[in-house]
Structure 1
């Protein structure tokens, strides 16, 4: 037992630190999810709850990530592949939005644990895996156990890993980087390929691109050219996700516009020493910057060790100095950042520039390991102590006598700079002790620093408040069927969590054509859509026409909203006799709109138009009969004719919709779900073309008689991705077998 401890004590310390961080879950049953924030600020729960909120800086976890994960797992469990989301944007690609992480192996947790516990383990595993993999990598650089432990501690709880931990995507995309670098050092093709693939499947393409670029650069630096083949194999393995994501990107507003944003200001570099120098959203005293996007903290002591070690002979460690410097310059307002934006490179030029800071943090943590080993020299230890105290002293002189900030913000900066200063002084004082204790004191102080930072940020809250049951939501979930709902439901993608079909949505890569359609509803003409959000304009020019065409039968309304925050002019429809209440409780009322078209109906005629403006002008013309005439962009195979007809949706699943039709003449079947080239249709088992109708919806020609029309979502990008993935896996097996 003693020999095992002597061999694995650093790994045990990493696990111990992780257990301390995760103890609210294991000991108290709390979950790493901002549930207090959910029920306090997001309707409909905010009408019934109200409580203190720890962290209100992670709304996307509530409005996107958790609902998407719910849809992903439920679809997998139903035996289907989660390629499509029918509940947002009147239907939208699901796997293609990338952050849904549909193909991530970590999803297997949800097949063996209750959902909220699987979610908790998914979130909490990130720092543990990051720490263990970082230790493995730094040891492969011939660093001591102590050096590797400190580097691991700095990386597993670095700013980037902590502030994005609750999302369960960006952290996973980044944490496989040390595994890949270990594979490069050890010439392990398996580690390289799996690390690349796992990163690309983790749910954040931008971070994965950084990982791939850094890995390629390291291979070139180490001159291990043959290993590039394993990097390519890793990309091939993840091809289904990559191709689907690329397709969605091209069809989104992100594929059409590049916006420069989230560049870290020079003064924000002070947070590398004191992360709360400019305040913290948790304590509600943040007054400058974007805390989550700009977090470059790795701990005071690791940073000082990293800076100190640069003056020593680093050998292969110079790669990490260069990587840290270059990536930091890309994140700051520098010519390099301007050049990247000017090049208009998809993903890299138009995304949050600051997220490249993960490579800076990884590099600095690695260099800090070199600094630990350099401190074994007494002279070096003294210089480190002197340099550290001098640096902190200069900042204190400015804070105390320079008065560079207003009084209130200066007080925050001074207060939040005390702890980093104390840590530096304690670390420096440790050098007067016996040499063999100094390094362990530094490790302990560094661990305490980053652990405090992580615990302060991460919410652990009551599981009973994770989307708790609301009577009105239960009514919608059980009564609306395939009809759509419009209302103030939690913002973003919360409707996905409850299987409620909505016309709105929140996704960075939603289809821009649908956004254009909704802009017409709002303004009366095509207008550049928002980059991430589609909202139904309650007072839009064509709101009534859209209510009809999109099949919005239910309006979800809070009683007080008629004169306060969120108000739909339901009274116009009630007075006209086309809307009545179908449900009411103490907080909410549900109105049913009689004028909504069926989600699927048969039309008797069509017009062909290929110009977008002509389509819009025709579709919303007062004299145009949208219930019986469709606008197609090509001539259908059959000519529809007037006559009695009916259509009924008999089954509706995310990637498969079955409709039974009856008609005495040929008809056009209209489905008010968004058009996507990946949708295929069969009529009685025979393939039939799917036409884009009424600007962005679906139609199929059906002959006279009784028929069954089945829509299936099976995009060619997914088929090609599977082929490439099989090729990649096969190539990996062959290469490993003949190694």
Structure 2
């Protein structure tokens, strides 16, 4: 008994000392928590990416027998594969541009070529991407993901301390925000969470700006907004702007601020300068959005605009109401709920067709709810020593009763279903869901029980003993904090896959075959899922991106259905391999597998897509069930046009492109008359074709004036230059480009540099100069004022 008493006393002293350490070393504690979370990276040499889904669920990697996994690689989270199909490959590609000293403006690997920087999601201008210039791509990625966790906690500490909170409550609020539902679900996307981590810093600087006259604070706010607007997400920056404005107005109106008008002007000016500073990203993005397929994509509408189902309301805990400035965060929290669930306000942005918001998922509003609850939780934790402990214990007890009743109800339902109804018992999905629900409730129920016991222990000690209650209360708070952080980490680990590096885009035999083929060429087909080809530097006519040019989306409709009425969504895919339009797209290889005609699942006894395995599409390689077909009629990247027709209008353009005789004889359909006569005897020699960063170049020698086709998506911002002189580009075959080249030897260059980017870059540079000038002016002004006094 004495040994047990000694051990308990030792545990008590240890936790108490840890609590004292928390008071003094908050930043260090946050760092330690972040490092503990990332132990798979530090100790197991893993990477924070869902690579298990890459090799466990996607062809051609599923055709490989991976050592140690005879039944296939198990998958932890199949819902975040965008991390490996979009965000990691995009960052790797952007890093290639920066290493070459080029702005990442054009992506040659997707959609027959498409804007890159302008998509916003590519996050090419995000300052923290400098990590990819210093470290290898895989290490830079791991550091970037780590920084989201650690820096978000660090900024939350700054913000909560500025609100007047201390000690345990600050650590709890910071931990809750670092590992809240939104930040963890979007962690490995490295976009929305990267934007969200700056919110506490913006609010901290807003507090400092309103409470002081230093111009450095609005300048810093403007600078932080550059990080936010370039972080690769639209909605979170929009929400941050709303919170910033409403919080700033709240402080200006309802707190003791001497110069309210001046405070308001600074609030607006800081945001305005932040927008102008980010013009290099925002201008091209708005330009692309205006001409994109986004408004025609019904994806969000099909999922009820991303509004949460009412049953999700049980995920929120409704605590008591505390204090003064806390009211702002209560209003913020409840307002976010009104727009998060299917209420009239929730549907309002979609009914009004608000640009940007009407094509985005409402579920991301949970970021605001998570942030508000993290702040309110910190406030509540800081006030525990001021409330009636007995009442608090009753609240916890009632919550425990409700939770226990829910658990018992689920257990009863499980056994009734299994033993009482044979028909329902055969529904494995329903039974499995019940098991998962019960399993998930156990940790929370245990946590509530332990909290109840600890506060009960504190109440008994305070009433019946003469022990220093402050020390006991510190012990209780420290114990609960450690327990809460442990549960937060459990949730984060459960939803965050860390993968073995051997699964980081490994080369299969099929991929090696394609990599070794002479370039340039494009691929298409489901044998390599959309975008994964980017990491292998293989160009495709297909792609997946929420925003890409409308003209490209219409081209997919034209290829697949013969008209432009069925515009492709975010998934630009080709399904009609009979179309002769594939030839001019430089599609040389189609990768496919046999599919069950009923459910389209891979099957040894299924069939390939129509149009394959004939005289024009010949199988040249296979890796088990995945086949590579060569398109024998594929045209080169750059070639001389021998015949062309000029369409007078859009309907005639579509009619001519659907004319098999035209396409079989390699007629090119133009939308403007080049006003030239093609000499059929002319044989142009095209050499040294090179596609670099934002540029296509080749040498040409011809006896007569020639019309040259370039298989790269047409865009108004492409410029063609022959021997230093700009020439006109003609849109050809609906999507591609053609130019007139005079007789003789020439070097031809196509350069992509959007006008919106050039204007945005100039605006950003001027804004930066103005901000730096304002900072220098204030220093000199204050220095003179100090000397005069």
d(CA) in 2 for partners of 1:628, 1:492? 28
The 1:609/1:36 distance shift into structure 2, 3 A limit, reads same
Q: Does 1:659 align with 2:726?
A: no
Residue in 2 aligned with 1:735? Answer: 774
d(CA) in 1 for partners of 2:732, 2:369? 49
Residue in 2 aligned with 1:159? Answer: 181
Tell me which of 727, 737, 742 is aligned to 1:703.
742
CA contact (8 A) 1:605 1:668 kept: no
- Structure 1, 661-670 or 602-611: larger mean CA deviation: 602-611
Residue in 1 aligned with 2:709? Answer: 670
d(CA) in 2 for partners of 1:566, 1:48? 22
Task: Compare CA radii of gyration and give the structure with the larger one.
Answer: 2
Q: TM-score, normalised by structure 2?
A: 0.83
d(CA) in 2 for partners of 1:567, 1:420? 50
Tell me which of 41, 45, 57 is aligned to 1:25.
41
Once the two structures are TM-superposed, the CA of residue 642 in structure 1 deviates from its matched residue by 3.5
Residue in 1 aligned with 2:347? Answer: 338
The 1:703/1:53 distance shift into structure 2, 3 A limit, reads same
The 1:584/1:400 distance shift into structure 2, 3 A limit, reads closer
Once the two structures are TM-superposed, the CA of residue 709 in structure 1 deviates from its matched residue by 1.6
d(CA) in 1 for partners of 2:132, 2:690? 26
Q: Does 1:74 align with 2:96?
A: yes
CA contact (8 A) 1:600 1:649 kept: no
Unpaired stretches in structure 2, ≥5 consecutive residues: 1-17, 66-71, 210-216, 253-262, 418-430, 459-471, 596-601, 779-789
Q: Spell out the pairing of 1:335-374 with structure 2 (5 A cutoff).
A: 335-374=344-383
Q: Does 1:553 align with 2:582?
A: no
Q: Does 1:65 align with 2:87?
A: yes
Tell me which of 605, 608, 615 is aligned to 1:567.
608
1:369-402, CA deviations, whole angstroms, 9 ceiling, x for partnerless residues?
11122111251x3333322331342344355359
Q: Does 1:388 align with 2:401?
A: no
Residue in 2 aligned with 1:397? Answer: 405
Residue in 2 aligned with 1:216? Answer: 245
d(CA) in 2 for partners of 1:565, 1:611? 42
d(CA) in 2 for partners of 1:529, 1:158? 37
Q: Does 1:694 align with 2:730?
A: no
CA contact (8 A) 1:608 1:633 kept: yes
Tell me which of 406, 415, 423 is aligned to 2:447.
423
CA contact (8 A) 1:196 1:231 kept: yes
* Matched residue SS, 2:538: coil
d(CA) in 1 for partners of 2:154, 2:448? 26
CA contact (8 A) 2:581 2:663 kept: no
* Matched residue SS, 1:722: helix
Once the two structures are TM-superposed, the CA of residue 183 in structure 1 deviates from its matched residue by 0.5
Residue in 1 aligned with 2:236? Answer: 207
Q: Spell out the pairing of 1:588-627 with structure 2 (5 A cutoff).
A: 589-609=627-647, 611-624=649-662
The 1:489/1:723 distance shift into structure 2, 3 A limit, reads farther
Residue in 2 aligned with 1:16? Answer: 32
Tell me which of 325, 330, 335 is aligned to 1:321.
330
d(CA) in 1 for partners of 2:374, 2:613? 62
Unpaired stretches in structure 1, ≥5 consecutive residues: 273-302
Instruction: Quote the RMSD (CA, aligned, Å).
Output: 2.5
- Structure 1, 580-589 or 138-147: larger mean CA deviation: 580-589
d(CA) in 1 for partners of 2:611, 2:644? 32
Residue in 1 aligned with 2:214? Answer: none
1:23-72, CA deviations, whole angstroms, 9 ceiling, x for partnerless residues?
11111111111122211111111100422222222111122112212211
Residue in 2 aligned with 1:279? Answer: none
d(CA) in 2 for partners of 1:579, 1:173? 46
Q: Spell out the pairing of 1:469-548 with structure 2 (5 A cutoff).
A: 469-537=507-575, 539-540=576-577, 543-548=578-583
d(CA) in 2 for partners of 1:605, 1:238? 46
CA contact (8 A) 2:229 2:282 kept: yes
CA contact (8 A) 2:560 2:579 kept: no
Q: TM-score, normalised by structure 1?
A: 0.89
CA contact (8 A) 1:638 1:703 kept: no
